[in-house]
Amino acid sequence: MSNDELVKKAEYLSKEIYRDNIRKSGDTYLEHSRRVVKLLLQVGIQDKNTLAAAYLHHILDFSPKPDIEELFNKEIYDIVSDYKILSEDNFSNINAENVDESLVIQTYLNLAKNPKTLLIRLADKTDNITSAHNLPKENSQNIARRALYIYSPICKILGIHKFVRILEDGAMKILNPRDYFKIQSYIDKNYPRVNMQLEEIKEFLSGILEENGIHAQIEYRTKGIYSTYAKVKKYFEKGSIKRTDDLKSIFDFAGLRILVSTIPECYKTEEIICNMWDVIPETRNDYISNPKPNGYMSLQSSYSVSKNLILEIQIRTFEMHEENEYGQASHAVYKIGSTVKKDLSNNPNLLREISYSLNKENINITQFSKYVYVYTPKGDIKRLPIGSNLLDFAYSIHKDLGNSAIGGNVNGIYKPLDHILENGNVVEIKTSKNKDIPSIKFLDLVKTRKARDEIRKANK
């Protein structure tokens, strides 16, 4: 079976199984799956097993359940099976605003053992945010918060920027519709004019730079609605603008990126541009001579190109641009905790391993696999070293709980204290009123330093 036939067969089977089943958002599962596949294609996914699995990612929710491994292959079966496990995990019930963001993101990356499953899941969530406004208010707001605080940061870490923009804008539309539509109206009104200006500027600059012996790659963009909103808030808080609706004063509503071969060409390009347009002095930053702490390098200034266009221009070498992509991921990685910062310092290639833009379906997300992430009955997440057991979990919550522990329920089933925990387990510790000193023999049982220290203290 050719690759194209594989994907077509998956689409046909999904059509047969899903039929006309309607999702809560009002569309059909088939329509949703087709959009998920389209999103994956738009970000460059070409792997046929990934695309076929994307058509089938909800298929195990329906009966009769087809034998996917026999109809397709083992990898597609594994992706679809892992997807169902990931979608049914207790993680789905977490309120994104009221938990430790770093642990939530690490848990999610750890639960998605197969990177291809993770990509399909992120595409699924990206599509979901576009129709979430059709759901009841409480449901739609919960989906929006998760998009903003969980899935968008994960996409930033991996470098899937198209998904980031859709997730952030979709979330803002639900959580802050007043400012969303105000900014959308401004962008819609000005985009055709600005886009035309940017195209003309690109062609003009390309010609000027060529005349000066500089072969450059020039790209332009306008910011998304949420990104524009974030800039408005930032400028307002810094006192650069006096009103939060002063969108005309946002310096980088539109942006231009110029990639050249050498550092001297960066400064020569800046000099050429400064001879044509007035630079806004307070916006100039030389991150080549003085890189940002995360390694970001670029010449960055905003220019008054015309009376109705202020344009941010970034100038950097091709090599800097590649490193800056990791810098963006690094910034997002830093948000998920000191442990990951340590991993990053110990493994300089970490960002390259998790970079979607470099590796597509072959991204490596195993750096979190040395931990196991489990839940308390209330939905709190505990991160423990791989191989930890019920007693380690008890001491991770409180010493008194560990000292009096006699066993516990794991996913509702009673287990002894030495039961090894797995990702996604829900653990409820059982205690005895007659026990407050743990056996010294438990020192050989536990995995964590905290548990060993508390056992020793209790026995003194």
Note the pLDDT tens digit of each residue in 165-193: 999 999 999 999 998 998 888 888 877 88
CA-to-CA distance for 412 and 397, rounded, in angstroms? 19
Task: Answer yes or no: is pLDDT of 358 > 80.
Answer: no
Asked which of 108-112, 139-143, 308-312 is least confident by mean pLDDT, the reply is 108-112
pLDDT recorded at residue 329: 47
Task: Tell me, yes or no, whether 401 lies in a domain.
Answer: yes
Task: Tell me, yes or no, whether 268 lies in a domain.
Answer: yes
Structure tokens at 176: 């802050």
Task: Tell me, yes or no, whether 334 lies in a domain.
Answer: no
Structure-model confidence comparison of residues 63 and 330, the more confident one? 63
Based on the domain organization, do 203 and 72 belong to the same domain? no
Task: Tell me, yes or no, whether 351 lies in a domain.
Answer: no
pLDDT recorded at residue 330: 47
Task: Tell me, yes or no, whether 169 lies in a domain.
Answer: yes
Q: Quick one: how far is CA 165 from the chain centroid?
A: 11
Structure tokens at 73: 């292959």
Confidence of residue 280 (pLDDT cuts 50, 70, 90): confident
pLDDT recorded at residue 320: 85
What is the rounded (10 degree) CA torsion for 265, 270, 274, 280?
180
Structure-model confidence comparison of residues 157 and 383, the more confident one? 383
Structure-model confidence comparison of residues 189 and 49, the more confident one? 49
CA-to-CA distance for 300 and 288, rounded, in angstroms? 9
Based on the domain organization, do 123 and 267 belong to the same domain? no
**Per-residue pLDDT tens over the stretch 5-44:** 899 999 999 999 988 889 988 899 999 999 999 999 988 8
CA distances from 85 to 10, 57, 127, 142, 316 (A): 20, 11, 20, 21, 44
Q: How many CB atoms lie within 10 A of CB 287?
A: 18
Based on the domain organization, do 129 and 235 belong to the same domain? no
Task: Tell me, yes or no, whether 362 lies in a domain.
Answer: no
Q: What are the φ and ψ backbone dihedral angles of 155, each rounded to 5 degrees?
A: -65, -35
Task: Answer yes or no: is pLDDT of 145 > 80.
Answer: yes
Based on the domain organization, do 169 and 21 belong to the same domain? yes
Q: What is the mean pLDDT of residues 51-67?
A: 91
Based on the domain organization, do 207 and 261 belong to the same domain? yes
Q: What is the mean pLDDT of residues 101-111?
A: 66
Based on the domain organization, do 169 and 192 belong to the same domain? no
Which CATH number is 152's domain given? 1.10.3210.10
Q: Tell me whether residue 414 is exposed, middle or buried, using C-beta atoms within 10 angstroms of its C-beta: 0 to 12, 13 to 18, 19 or more.
A: exposed
Please compute Rg for the chain using Cα positions: 26
Based on the domain organization, do 385 and 268 belong to the same domain? no
Name the domain boundary from 154, 175, 196. 175
Q: What is the pTM of this model?
A: 0.71
What is the share, in percent, of the chain residues with pLDDT greater than 70? Answer: 79
Q: What is the mean pLDDT of residues 202-212?
A: 95
pLDDT recorded at residue 413: 93
**Strand ranges for 307-426 from DSSP E:** 309-317, 371-375, 381-385, 405-410, 413-415
Structure-model confidence comparison of residues 322 and 398, the more confident one? 398
Helix-helix angle 29-42:3-18, to 10 degrees: 150
**Per-residue pLDDT tens over the stretch 392-428:** 999 999 999 999 999 999 988 999 999 999 877 889 9
Task: Tell me, yes or no, whether 163 lies in a domain.
Answer: yes
Confidence of residue 316 (pLDDT cuts 50, 70, 90): very high
CA-to-CA distance for 128 and 146, rounded, in angstroms? 11
Which CATH number is 268's domain given? 3.30.460.10
pLDDT recorded at residue 360: 52
Asked which of 15-29, 222-236, 246-260, 270-284 is least confident by mean pLDDT, the reply is 246-260
Which CATH number is 417's domain given? 3.10.20.30
Task: Answer yes or no: is pLDDT of 339 > 50.
Answer: no
Contacts of 303 (CB under 8 A, 6+ apart): 273, 277, 278, 279, 280, 310, 311, 313
Helix-helix angle 74-88:115-131, to 10 degrees: 50
Contacts of 32 (CB under 8 A, 6+ apart): 23, 58, 124, 127
Name the domain boundary from 175, 205, 238. 175
Q: What is the mean pLDDT of the chain?
A: 82
pLDDT recorded at residue 336: 44
pLDDT recorded at residue 333: 47
Based on the domain organization, do 196 and 112 belong to the same domain? no
Question: Comparing C-alpha atoms, which of 146, 75, 86, 87 is closest to residue 113?
Answer: 86
Based on the domain organization, do 285 and 376 belong to the same domain? no
Based on the domain organization, do 156 and 202 belong to the same domain? no
Name the domain boundary from 133, 152, 175. 175
Residue 287 structural domain:
188-322
Based on the domain organization, do 20 and 167 belong to the same domain? yes
Confidence of residue 214 (pLDDT cuts 50, 70, 90): very high
Q: What is the mean pLDDT of residues 197-204?
A: 92
pLDDT recorded at residue 452: 92
Task: Answer yes or no: is pLDDT of 287 > 70.
Answer: yes
The residue type found at 38 is K
Based on the domain organization, do 100 and 17 belong to the same domain? yes
CA-to-CA distance for 197 and 189, rounded, in angstroms? 14
**Strand ranges for 199-308 from DSSP E:** 217-222, 254-260, 278-279, 285-286, 299-306
Name the strand (E) or helix (H) holding 25: none
Contact 270, 315 (CB under 8 A): yes
Q: How many independent structural domains does the chain possess?
A: 3
Q: What is the mean pLDDT of residues 59-72?
A: 89
Task: Tell me, yes or no, whether 418 lies in a domain.
Answer: yes
